[in-house]
Chains A and B, each alone.
Chain A
Amino acid sequence: MTLNRRVFIGSAAAATAVLSAPMVRAAGRPKVVVIGGGAGGATAARYIAKDSDGAIDVTLIEPTRTYYTCFFSNLYLGGFREFASLGHTYGKLAAEYGINVVHDWAVGVDRDAKTVALASGSSVPYDRLVISPGIDFVDGAIPGWDLSTQNKMPHAYKAGSQTQLLKAQIEAMPQGGVFAMIAPPNPFRCPPGPYERVSMVAHYLKANNPTAKILIADPKDKFSKQGLFEDGWTRHYSGMIERLGPDFGGNKVEVRPDTMELVIDGEATKVDVCNVIPAQKAGRIAELAGVTNDAGWAPVSGFGMVSKMDENIHVLGDASAQGDMPKSGFSANSQAKVCAMSVRGALTGSKVFPPKFANTCWSLIDTDDGIKVGASYEATDEKIASTGGFVSQNGEDAATRKATYEESIGWYAGISADIFG
């Protein structure tokens, strides 16, 4: 049986319509469907399959065949990492864990019938549904910008071709040109992400285009690890980076992709690259499933990441509104394990322990100058609540910063193995 599935997954030409096969085979076993094969979804699928030893039938729905991690994509922009090293495939999840990996889009959820509709037209039944679709952008968040202009003004906030495009644009900047970034309002994926990106772009420009400038329009008063980033920018990239917060119109921006203009508080500036990171919300399928709130996120209980709107649905990662955890790959992976335990407990009666969560976000400012912030969390009735944390300090010696960077490389290897097997 598994063999057939393996052949099916392995063959690139295989059509998703073959999907009905695993359903027939799986009759009798409880069914879990996971939407989204990213940091949250792939981890959940793997842990449910692994720890239930075949007692649960797991289907993972993910449109792309290679998942490019957002984490470390900034390092690619800075030249510290090859693009190919960010790519991960689903072969092991299928072959070694017996997960039915279906490369298709989920386009709807029928919560009464407990089925997920796929773009190919088929539908998949579930006993428990796990949704981890990441983010989508809020329509109209930045006047002048929408997905049709993303190739002129890339977001590169979902990794893949967008990331490559942004890098190519940075490399094509004229000497002394301007790289602009529109940073998003809270809450958004990876709070230090935009500022690590600025650091990496600056690193590239310092070596290749030292008279270039970086302009950040930011609607937020303050941002993650701000003191550490600003200290690093002064030490490494003095005079190159300018950030306009809300007091300088950073919250009143629009763009004109045709003329490559960024308008801040009514004043237009011509820029060479414009990296637009719009306001965010849960991936659209969460909204279609009817599990999101007015703010666009899916409220969940920290006890099992169960949706507050439907007890048979779990929402993980960036899409969830859970409390204090930042939207990160580390968090999504951590939440996935609590979710997996809860799903197994519900479907097979296995033991459920009190949830524990953790997060650490590393950022690279310049060569061997790494910083980190992290915390532990537990579930309370109200939310996932922080129980304490730590953050790098200004003035740390070079060896500490280098060790921090090296730690992050170890983490990337570790978490990739933990997500994809």
Chain B
Amino acid sequence: MLGLIAPVLLLAGLAGPVAADSPELGENIWKKCRACHDIGPDAIRKVGPPLNDLLGRVAGTFPDYIYSKAMIDAGEEGLVWTPETLDVFLERPKNLVQSTKMSFAGLRKQADRDNLIAFLAVYSSDDQTVRDKHLRSADPQLPAEVLAIEGDRDYGEYLAGTCVGCHQQSGEDKGIPSITGWPSETFMTVMFSYRSKFRENPVMQQVAGSLNNEEIAALAAFFQELEAAD
């Protein structure tokens, strides 16, 4: 299911919802969800599951909530709640998870969805324990075929020449983040996220934009071997 969404977004190079959206306006839209969902400290299960820490959560995994089989399957196929996946879901839930038991028609207006997602983000802690700690909510979910590309480590070592002028090979962070010792799947996801402009930094968009899938995989293979910073 999700296998279809992420690549479409990537290929189209669509920018995901951006940070300029307003959680305050989103709180108004939240009224449409409140009957079925709770959020905030001590949020309880209602008809639907609590939506704290939603960004980064694998679909259908809130403990002790009984989901539809459709939602559980979607999670098992790799659906993770990110601004991009939520945007599709909230526009018309059944478009994303066909047999979900959430009976809600959807939010037609892009701005409503953006603001609501910004509101939900406020209740998502930065520490996304479910996904790798290096991932941000904006990062896309890559299809398994892409993550499975075997990187040529030696090629990666050469290509890394471009990176280590900024990211120290020792893993030290003196103003530019450390990228050593990451799991290669995380590394690739983040590089795609810059390449597809889900992440904002123009330097990294440029760097990632000049790399093809094999090159990203090669870099992932090389950096994975280096000792992680603590």
**Inter-chain contacts of A360 with B (CB < 8 A):** 166, 203
Task: Report which of B165, B168, B170, B205 forms a contact with A333, defined as CB distance below 8 A.
Answer: B165
- A337, A341, A351, A409: the one contacting B174 at CB < 8 Å is A409
Contacts A356-B210, A410-B175, A414-B176 hold; do A390 and B158 have CB atoms under 8 A apart? no
Residue of B nearest to A376 (CB): B210
Complex Cα gap A260–B205 (Å): 48
With contact pairs A411-B165, A411-B176 given, residues A417 and B170 touching in the complex (Cβ less than 8 Å): yes
Q: Is the CB of B161 within 8 A of A337?
A: yes
- On whether A406 and B175 interact (CB within 8 A), knowing A375-B206, A376-B209, the answer reads yes
Query: In the bound complex, what is the Cα–Cα distance between A376 and B206 (angstroms)?
Result: 7
A387→B202 CA distance, assembly (Å): 15
How many residue-residue contacts, CB under 8 A, span A and B?
A: 84
Q: A372-B203, A374-B206, A376-B207 are in contact. Are A411 and B166 (CB under 8 A)?
A: yes
Smallest beta-carbon distance B207→chain A, Å: 7
**CB of A404, distance to nearest CB on chain B (Å):** 9
User: Which residues 353-400 of A have a CB within 8 angstroms of B?
Assistant: 353, 356-358, 360, 372, 374-376, 387-390, 392
Please tell me if the beta carbons of B203 and A390 are within 8 angstroms of each other in the complex. Answer: yes
Given the complex of chains A and B, what is the CA–CA distance between A392 and B202 in angstroms? 8
Question: Would you give the shortest CB distance from A411 to chain B, in whole angstroms?
Answer: 5
Name which residue of chain A comes closest to B158, CB basis. Answer: A353
Q: Is A341 within 8 A of B158, CB to CB?
A: yes
Contacts of A390 in B (CB 8 A): 202-203, 205-206
Indicate which residue in A389, A392, A417 contacts B206 across the interface (CB closer than 8 Å): A389
Contact of A410 with B174 in the complex, beta carbons under 8 Å: yes
Task: Give the residues in chain A near B162, CB-CB below 8 Å.
Answer: 334, 337, 356-358
- Give Cα A330 to B161, complex, Å: 11
**Among B154, B165, B209, which residue has its beta carbon within 8 angstroms of that of A418?**
B165
Which residues of chain B come closer than 8 Å to A387, judged between CB atoms? Answer: 210
Question: Which residues on the B side are within 8 Å of A333 (C-beta)?
Answer: 165
Q: Does A413 have its Cβ within 8 Å of any Cβ on chain B?
A: yes
Q: How far is the CB of B212 from chain A (nearest CB, A)?
A: 11
Asked if residues B175 and A358 are in contact (CB atoms below 8 Å), the reply is no
Which among B161, B176, B205 has the highest number of chain A CB atoms within 10 Å?
B161
Chain B min CB distance to A362 (Å): 9
What distance in Å separates the Cβ of A307 from its nearest Cβ neighbour in chain B?
A: 21
Q: Given A376-B210, A387-B210, A407-B203 in contact, is the A334-B175 Cβ separation under 8 Å?
A: no
Residues of chain A within 8 A (CB-CB) of B18 are: none
Q: Is the CB of A145 closer than 8 A to any CB of chain B?
A: no
Report A316-339 residues with CB < 8 Å from chain B CB: 330, 333-334, 337-338
In the complex, A125 Cα to B34 Cα: how many Å?
80
Cross-chain contact A358 with B168 (CB below 8 angstroms): no
**A415's contact among B165, B205, B209, by CB below 8 Å, is which?**
B165
Is A229 an interface residue when CB atoms closer than 8 A count as contact?
no
A390 to B203, CA, bound (A): 8
**B164 interfacial by beta-carbon distance below 8 Å:** yes
22 A-B contacts (beta carbon < 8 Å): A337-B161, A337-B162, A338-B161, A353-B155, A360-B203, A374-B202, A376-B209, A388-B206, A388-B209, A389-B206, A390-B206, A407-B166, A409-B174, A409-B175, A410-B174, A411-B165, A411-B176, A414-B168, A415-B165, A417-B168, A417-B169, A418-B169
Can you name 7 extra interface pairs (CB under 8 A) apart from A390-B203, A409-B175? A353-B159, A360-B203, A390-B205, A414-B166, A414-B174, A417-B168, A418-B168
Chain A positions near chain B (C-beta within 8 angstroms)? 47, 330, 333-334, 337-338, 341, 351, 353, 356-358, 360, 372, 374-376, 387-390, 392, 406-411, 413-415, 417-418
